């Protein structure tokens, strides 16, 4: 590795960012229809932010992209390959930052980060150490390397999860609510990290979030998922003056104590 | 706990396990070690009875190998014996299936054979002798015992009398006291006879003096089993004789029971010396018994026959069931 | 109907997991650390309980045998009874049951919690197959450690029987006599027979416990349910398999 020392120790080999295409994706869990014919595409190198209320099926959608869930109907492709196929995970490096972090509780923070490069023999132990420490440094986690995940706060876990994803040097990076549970400054930091990572590694990024600032700050395009259907899709700028009342309501909810929403709920 | 320590413990633990398995193997399957070394012999039997793979092969009680395989070969059963390489087995040695206990553990006993005979080679067939099984022996022993009891009862009645008729002894007593003088003369003759006996002449003499014959007799007695069949007929004969005696038939019967004959005897008792003389000269049945060698040969033949049947029990190693019973009985 | 499909599903997924794990057998050398860690957990830490239990099983076997055999005056054969029962049946079955209770339940709990807290999903997205990283080292460690546990169980059980035989008044058999009879009637093939059984049971227990853990669905509550199911299924499988394996191994004597 002959890269300049000011840059990250991550490999500088150009691995092209991959595009994601979702065609008429539907998913049922028993009688519950979670996704209804969702169709959209994410260009290589793009930052796509997926917004939507809780329970609208955002996490389920992300799981389809990494192949953890299989579509009831429709198709998800990553770089033209079927996301449901196991080989796709071998050919395309994808990282998913889980909503809950999903850290390995039996391993220290350092070993959590080192697991992927060790298992795939990306570098020798010294090289791995450099990568891991760099990732921890980006997320100001140097002090936690020897700690066990159970000793960390919720926000720290989330950052460790992001660091673990960074160490994978993915071509496709998926974040599931990376800024929830974080204080405003830390969520701004995370937004900056997401953008920087994309700049530095030309990674395709899909972020699930309901934070407007994040969406307006870093998104190339924003999609809004509601009740399992995509109700809005377009550049972030369009959302500043939304046409659809549901979108407007979702983005700028007014707290109206005279007509509380929960009394109007249909069911 | 650091990793090296853990690895070391696991390693030690594993080695301990392997060592224990090895020790168990060594301790429990001594017989199997012969499987690698040594040579094999084939022993054919009419039936292998309870013999099974892994049973011991012993010579004079010493374990010298194991039964490697049991199989059917045509109309007989064969046991393949794996023998320790340092043990030589003479080609006239005989293998028998021996029962070591009442609960059915068997082994193959091999006798020593004659010292000069050549040794058997790998794959050779060893001579075998069939041995009857325990249950048959036990049944025959029972029958034999009953018959002996009956026969002895009859004999003792004949000898001592049953109260009404005087027994042999009373009659002899009377005979002797009536003919004291003549008896005296006879005694001289008898002395002559006993001298003969001492010198080993005649059947009885041989019987008393010939050690080989004596040994045969002892062996026969100890190893009742084979004789059982003969003994049965023998006992039947003995009984018949005793019955005849009782019925007053035959010389002895007449002598003992028949008063007319008794009187005749009395009358002719003067001639008893002549009878004794006759006996000495080997005339008459009793004379023959005492003087004739052919009777001796017959007796010897019978004993040999019994002996051969019993040879299977010759191995000295273990206490066989028969041995136990025989020793208890005799 | 639902239960039947669930059982078939269990069989199918267990086989699949086995095939998957074995297909990664080549990666075992570089997973040696995990392998040794599992050896340590499955073998070394299970030893004390195996030793204690087999000691008392051997003892109680001798006691019961002595009690019933005194009716026939055949106490001197206690060695053969304890020797054979321990080697052929009780040693392997007991090791397997302890393995299910002590190791299998822990495996299921660990894997189930990894599943519920999405650690398994994380592994899958990292393209690290759980069968390779989590199941294979455990299966390999089981294969290596179970014979060691089983032989120790046999020997300790025999020893326990010897002590009872000597110090129980109604038996009173010297250890020399006890072991002489034991040696005479217990052959290495009996011990081997038991080791094969133990190996098979242990392997099945660990495989089944892994599978049930990995197939846990739902929340943390399901972890406990999975552990219970894993232990119950393991115990049933041990005893059912025991019958059939004994049937198969008998004629091979
Ligand atoms: N494995 C599952 N089984 C059954 N229902 C599920 C499962 N995963 C998600 N759901 C349901 O799908 C809906 C969408 O969930 P999710 O995608 O997690 O929502 P969110 O948009 O908040 O991430 C929810 O109603 C949830 O209950
Ligand atoms: Mg979610």
Q: Residue B218: inside a domain, yes or no? A: no
Q: Residue C199: inside a domain, yes or no? A: yes
Residues B68 and B81 sit within 8 Å (Cβ to Cβ): yes
**Torsion angle, alpha carbons of A224, A229, A234, A238, to 10:** -50
Domain-ending residue, one of B209, B236, B270: B209
Does residue B108 share a domain with residue B19?
Answer: no
Does residue B43 share a domain with residue B109?
Answer: yes
Q: Distance between CA atoms of B30 and B53, rounded to whole angstroms?
A: 14
Please tell me the residue having the least CA distance from ligand 1 atom 8: A60
Q: Could you tell me the distance, in angstroms and rounded to a whole number, from the CA of residue C189 to the centre of ligand 2? A: 59
* B25-73: pLDDT as tens digits: 888 875 454 345 678 888 988 888 778 777 778 888 887 887 888 888 8
Q: Residue B75: inside a domain, yes or no? A: yes
Structure token digits, residue C12: 């199918």
Q: According to CATH, where is 3.40.50.300 located in chain A?
A: 1-93+173-235
Q: Assign residue A85 a region (left: φ > 0; alpha: ψ between -120 and 50; beta: otherwise).
A: beta
Which residues on neighbouring strands pair with residue A97, listed in sequence order? A175
Among all ligands shown, which has an atom nearest to the Cα of A61?
A: 1
Residues A63-67: contacts with CB within 8 Å, 24+ apart? A63/A96, A63/C121, A64/A22, A64/A25, A64/A27, A64/A35, A65/A20, A65/A22, A65/A94, A65/A172, A65/A174, A65/A206, A66/A94, A66/A96, A66/A174, A66/C124, A66/C125, A67/C124, A67/C125
Does residue B129 share a domain with residue B77?
Answer: yes
Confidence of residue B320 (pLDDT cuts 50, 70, 90): very low
pLDDT exceeds 70 at position A1: no
Please tell me the residue having the least CA distance from ligand 1 atom 14: A57
Residues with CB under 5 Å of ion ligand 2 are: A 59, 99
- Give the rounded percent of residues in chain B with a pLDDT score beyond 90: 0
Q: Which residues contact C211 (CB under 8 A, 6 or more apart)?
A: C10, C13, C14, C17
Does residue B191 share a domain with residue B170?
Answer: yes
Q: Residue C178: inside a domain, yes or no? A: yes
Does residue B185 share a domain with residue B172?
Answer: yes
The mean pLDDT of C27-43, rounded to a whole number, is 92
CA of C192 vs chain A CAs: smallest distance (Å): 37
Confidence of residue B172 (pLDDT cuts 50, 70, 90): low
The mean pLDDT of B5-26, rounded to a whole number, is 86
Q: Distance between CA atoms of B84 and B35, rounded to whole angstroms?
A: 9
Q: Distance between CA atoms of C34 and A83, rounded to whole angstroms?
A: 31
Residues in chain B with CB shorter than 8 Å from the CB of C188 are 24-25, 28-29, 32
The tally of domains found in chain B comes to 5
Does residue B14 share a domain with residue B74?
Answer: no
* Ligand 1 atom with least separation from CA of A30: 4
Handedness of CA C6, C12, C13, C15 (dihedral sign): positive
Q: What are phi and psi of B59, to 5 degrees?
A: -125, 125
Q: Which residue in A12, A44, A122, A100 sits closest to C128, CA to CA?
A: A122
Q: Distance between CA atoms of C141 and C21, rounded to whole angstroms?
A: 13
Alpha helices in A120-153 (DSSP H): 125-138
pLDDT exceeds 90 at position C198: yes
* B182-208: pLDDT as tens digits: 757 766 776 776 677 667 665 555 656
Domain that holds residue C37: 31-248
pLDDT exceeds 70 at position C15: yes
Q: What are phi and psi of B109, to 5 degrees?
A: -100, 135
| CB-based contact C127 A120, cutoff 8 Å | yes
| CB-based contact B29 C187, cutoff 8 Å | yes
Kind of pairing between the strands at A229-235 and A221-226: antiparallel
Which residues on neighbouring strands pair with residue A174, listed in sequence order? A96, A206
Q: Residue C232: inside a domain, yes or no? A: yes
Does residue B27 share a domain with residue B72?
Answer: no
Does residue B42 share a domain with residue B16?
Answer: no
The tally of domains found in chain C comes to 1
Q: Distance between CA atoms of B136 and B134, rounded to whole angstroms?
A: 5
- Residue C155 has what pLDDT? 95
CA of C13 vs chain A CAs: smallest distance (Å): 17
Q: Could you tell me the distance, in angstroms and rounded to a whole number, from the CA of residue A107 to the centre of ligand 2? A: 25
* A83-119: pLDDT as tens digits: 989 888 888 999 999 988 899 999 999 999 999 999 9
Q: Could you tell me the distance, in angstroms and rounded to a whole number, from the CA of residue A20 to the centre of ligand 1? A: 21
Confidence of residue B314 (pLDDT cuts 50, 70, 90): very low
- Residue C102 has what pLDDT? 94
> Ligand 1 within 6 A of A56 CB?
yes
Q: Which residue in C213, C241, C244 sits closest to C97, CA to CA?
A: C241
Please state which architecture CATH assigns to domain A1-93+173-235: 3-Layer(aba) Sandwich (3.40)
* Ligand 1 atom with least separation from CA of A52: 21
Domain that holds residue B271: 259-291
The mean pLDDT of C228-232, rounded to a whole number, is 96
* Ligand 1 atom with least separation from CA of A58: 21
The mean pLDDT of B220-232, rounded to a whole number, is 56
Query: C125 vs B2, which has greater pLDDT?
Result: C125
């Amino acid at each position: 590795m002959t890269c300049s020392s000011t840059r990250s120790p991550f490999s500088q080999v150009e691995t092209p960012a991959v595009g994601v295409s979702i065609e008429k994706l539907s998913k049922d869990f028993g009688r519950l229809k979670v996704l209804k014919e969702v169709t959209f595409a994410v260009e290589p190198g793009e930052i796509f932010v997926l917004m939507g209320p809780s329970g609208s099926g955002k996490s389920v959608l992300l799981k389809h992209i990494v192949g953890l869930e299989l579509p009831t109907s429709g198709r998800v492709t990553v770089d033209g390959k079927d996301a449901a196929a196991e080989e796709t995970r071998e050919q395309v490096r994808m990282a998913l930052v889980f909503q809950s972090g999903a850290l390995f509780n039996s391993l220290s923070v350092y070993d959590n980060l080192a697991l992927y490069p060790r298992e795939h023999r990306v570098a020798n132990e010294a090289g791995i150490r450099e990568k891991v420490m760099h990732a921890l440094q980006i997320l100001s986690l140097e002090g936690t390397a020897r700690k066990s995940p159970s000793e960390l706060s919720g926000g720290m876990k989330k950052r460790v999860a992001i660091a673990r994803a960074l160490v994978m040097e993915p071509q496709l990076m998926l974040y599931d609510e990376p800024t929830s549970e974080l204080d405003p400054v830390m969520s701004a930091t995370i937004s900056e990290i997401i953008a920087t990572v994309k700049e530095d590694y030309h990674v395709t990024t899909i972020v699930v979030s309901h934070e407007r600032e994040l969406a307006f700050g870093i998104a190339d395009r924003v999609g809004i998922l509601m009740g399992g259907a995509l109700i809005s899709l377009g550049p972030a700028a369009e959302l500043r003056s939304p046409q659809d009342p549901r979108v407007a309501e979702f983005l700028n909810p007014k707290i109206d104590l005279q007509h509380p929403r929960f009394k109007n709920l249909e069911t | 706990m650091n990793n090296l320590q853990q690895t070391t413990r696991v390693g030690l633990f594993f080695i301990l396990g392997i060592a224990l398995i090895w020790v168990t193997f060594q301790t429990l399957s001594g017989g199997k070690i012969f499987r690698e070394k040594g040579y094999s012999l084939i022993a054919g039997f009419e039936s292998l009875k309870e013999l099974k793979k892994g049973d011991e092969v012993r010579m004079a009680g010493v374990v010298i190998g194991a039964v490697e395989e049991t199989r059917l070969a045509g109309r007989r059963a064969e046991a393949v014996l794996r023998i320790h390489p340092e043990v030589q087995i003479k080609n006239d040695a005989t293998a028998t299936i021996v029962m070591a206990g009442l609960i059915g553990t068997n082994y193959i006993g091999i006798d020593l054979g004659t010292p000069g005979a050549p040794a058997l080679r790998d794959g050779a067939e060893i001579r075998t002798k069939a041995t009857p099984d325990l249950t048959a022996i036990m049944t025959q022993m029972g029958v034999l015992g009953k018959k002996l009891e009956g026969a002895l009862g009859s004999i003792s009645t004949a000898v001592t009398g049953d109260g009404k008729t005087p027994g042999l002894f009373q009659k002899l007593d009377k005979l002797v006291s009536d003919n004291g003088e003549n008896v005296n003369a006879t005694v001289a003759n008898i002395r002559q006879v006993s001298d003969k006996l001492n010198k080993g002449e005649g059947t009885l003499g041989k019987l008393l003096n010939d050690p080989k014959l004596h040994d045969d007799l002892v062996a026969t007695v100890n190893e009742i089993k084979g004789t059982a069949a003969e003994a049965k007929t023998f006992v039947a004969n003995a009984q018949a004789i005793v019955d005849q005696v009782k019925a007053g038939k035959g010389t002895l019967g007449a002598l003992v029971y028949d008063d007319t004959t008794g009187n005749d005897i009395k009358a002719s008792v003067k001639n008893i010396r002549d009878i004794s003389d006759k006996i000495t000269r080997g005339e008459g049945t009793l004379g023959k018994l005492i003087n004739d060698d052919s009777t001796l040969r017959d007796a010897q033949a019978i004993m040999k026959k019994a002996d051969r049947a019993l040879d299977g029990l010759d191995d000295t190693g273990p206490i066989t069931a028969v041995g136990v019973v025989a020793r208890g009985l005799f | 109907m639902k239960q039947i499909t669930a059982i078939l599903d269990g069989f199918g997924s267990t086989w699949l997991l086995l095939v998957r794990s074995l297909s990664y057998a080549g990666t075992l050398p570089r997973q040696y650390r995990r392998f040794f860690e599992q050896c340590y957990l499955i073998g070394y830490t299970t030893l004390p309980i195996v030793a204690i239990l087999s000691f008392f099983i051997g003892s109680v076997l001798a006691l019961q045998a002595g009690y019933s055999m005194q009716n026939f005056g055949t106490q001197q054969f206690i060695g053969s009874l304890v020797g054979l029962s321990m080697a052929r049946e009780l040693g392997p079955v007991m090791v397997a049951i302890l393995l299910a209770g002590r190791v299998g339940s822990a495996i299921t709990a660990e894997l189930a919690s990894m599943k519920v807290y999405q650690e398994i999903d994380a592994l899958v997205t990292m393209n690290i197959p759980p069968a390779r990283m989590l199941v294979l080292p455990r299966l390999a460690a089981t294969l290596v450690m179970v014979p060691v546990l089983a032989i120790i169980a046999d020997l300790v059980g025999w020893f326990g029987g010897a002590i009872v035989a000597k110090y129980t008044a109604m038996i009173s058999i010297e250890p020399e006599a006890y072991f002489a009879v034991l040696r005479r009637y217990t052959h290495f093939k009996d011990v081997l027979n038991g080791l094969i059984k133990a190996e098979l049971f242990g392997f099945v227990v660990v495989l089944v416990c892994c599978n049930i853990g990995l197939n846990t669905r739902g929340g943390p509550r399901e972890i406990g349910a999975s552990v219970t199911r894993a232990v119950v299924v393991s115990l049933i499988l041990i005893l059912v398999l025991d019958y059939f394996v004994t049937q198969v191994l008998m004629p091979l004597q």
